[in-house]
Structure 1
Amino acid sequence: MRIRDLILPEDQIFFALFKDMAQKINEASATLNEITHELPEGIEKAHKIRQIEHLGDEVTRHIYERLNESLITPLEPDEIARLAPALDDVLDKLDWVAHQLATYELTRSSDVLKEYSYLILMTSNEIVEAVDALADLTKPQEVHSHILEISRLYNLSSELLSRAILEIFKTKDLLMIIKLKDIYESLAKVMEKCNDVGHALSDISMSHT
């Protein structure tokens, strides 16, 4: 036990706030998955992701405010300052993809869009589980198992992106090529940010074993 823990109890609200952010990522991911399966009608749900993203900004702001006020924290301040923006970045990228889908007015979905959004949803589930496990710093292996799955899903998404880019260039519709390439690359950025969350969780968990 650290000496500072004997003086004041740790501020456990950070874990609650991180869980809140993870749940918001999961909700936004589920909504994105619905959109890609319901195009073009489902695009009306893009506003829901925008609302979730705004709520996520408020949670992130609360995390930093609490960090500045707290004398004792369950994680090191630099760990909190790393994980908070990593989670917020995922929400930002999810919101951007939803914005693109709405702006580009796709008349129908595609297998790639559906598969990509499903991978994002599955990854968000792992983030929720990993953040939950992180709250119990005596279970690093449980955190690690979810991080490994995040990494596996990220690798699958990278393979999907490569196949998708090759596929869209087979069409003769130049405008559609531009739209889909833009969207696919944004979906890849969501997965990249999810993987960054995994790295942050891994480093934090290892430092507390």
Structure 2
Amino acid sequence: MSLNSLISWLKPREFVFFDLLEASADNLTEAARFFTSEFKSRQTPGEWVAMRRKMKDFEHAGDEITHQIVDRLNRTFVTPIEREDILHLAHALDDVVDCLDGVCERMILYKITHVMPLAIELGKLMQAGAEELRPLIGHLRNLSDEKTISRRILSCNELENQADAVFHAALAEIFENPKDPIELIKWKEILALLEDATDRIELVSKVVGSTVMRNA
């Protein structure tokens, strides 16, 4: 028996890490779909409160999954993939939901009554990226399908590039004719959170990509 075969035989199959990462990706996907469906052109303060309450449920669920992953990492000697990758993925997935929760929080605090069309477009790109992540995270169980994995990573990258373009267009719009500097500051912060969410989605795809390269 070769050394690699012996290591493979001795290595415990801690598939629970895959279960937890997939659960976190599921939570993110549901949160992204909910966010986009509710992020309409006009909302009353009461509707923003209800949206934030539901988003807080997603945020708490993500935190709980991340806590379980960290706790199990602390009690596991050998992991199916690098423990740093597991931790990085867990926090990055959770961070996207945190960004969406932060947007909802600011919609209430800033008493927003009209949503920029470009912000809605940014939300749609964020959702598309989140939906690419769920099957991508699922591929961690079997890293042999490199072609499909590469395609999904490329898709996440392309969506992030599109989100960057929309983000910059939205900034240009609010700075072009700034009638109210306070509104400008509000929207600059909201747009930055949405753009940060797409950045973190791309980060998750890159971590999966590096994991594939190391384990190919």
Assess, with a 3 A threshold, how the Cα gap between structure 1 residues 107 and 193 changes in structure 2: closer, same or farther.
same
**Which of 115, 122, 126 does residue 120 from structure 1 map onto?**
126
Deviation at 1:150, TM superposition (A): 0.6
The reply on whether 1:200 has 2:207 as its aligned counterpart is: yes
Assess, with a 3 A threshold, how the Cα gap between structure 1 residues 185 and 22 changes in structure 2: closer, same or farther.
same
Cα distance in 2, alignment partners of residues 79 and 173 from structure 1: 44
Deviation at 1:140, TM superposition (A): 2.1
The reply on whether 1:65 has 2:65 as its aligned counterpart is: no
Deviation at 1:178, TM superposition (A): 1.5
- RMSD after superposition: 1.6
Post-superposition Cα deviations, 1:125-184, rounded to whole Å, max 9, x if no partner, equal: 011121112221211222221111110010011111111111112241222211111111
Consecutive unaligned residues in structure 1, runs of 5 or more: none
Cα distance in 2, alignment partners of residues 203 and 8 from structure 1: 21
Q: Is the 8 Å Cα contact of residues 5 and 72 (structure 1) preserved in structure 2?
A: no
Post-superposition Cα deviations, 1:100-146, rounded to whole Å, max 9, x if no partner, equal: 12221211222112101100100000111211122212112222211
Q: TM-score if structure 2 supplies the norm length?
A: 0.90
**Which of 151, 167, 173 does residue 167 from structure 1 map onto?**
173
The reply on whether 1:85 has 2:91 as its aligned counterpart is: yes
Consecutive unaligned residues in structure 2, runs of 5 or more: none
**2:139 matched residue in structure 1:** 133
Assess, with a 3 A threshold, how the Cα gap between structure 1 residues 50 and 82 changes in structure 2: closer, same or farther.
same
Over 4 Å off, 4+ runs: none
Post-superposition Cα deviations, 1:75-112, rounded to whole Å, max 9, x if no partner, equal: 12222122221212212212111211222121122211
Matches within 5 A, 1:4-43: 4-37=7-40, 39-41=42-44, 42-43=47-48
Q: Is the 8 Å Cα contact of residues 41 and 117 (structure 2) preserved in structure 1?
A: no
The number of aligned residues is: 209
Cα distance in 2, alignment partners of residues 83 and 2 from structure 1: 27
Deviation at 1:71, TM superposition (A): 3.2
Q: What is the letter of the counterpart of residue 97 of structure 1?
A: V
**1:100 matched residue in structure 2:** 106
**Aligned-residue identity in percent:** 27
Q: Is the 8 Å Cα contact of residues 9 and 72 (structure 1) preserved in structure 2?
A: yes
Assess, with a 3 A threshold, how the Cα gap between structure 1 residues 15 and 126 changes in structure 2: closer, same or farther.
same
Q: What is the letter of the counterpart of residue 112 of structure 2?
A: L
Q: What is the letter of the counterpart of residue 81 of structure 2?
A: L
Q: What is the letter of the counterpart of residue 185 of structure 1?
A: A
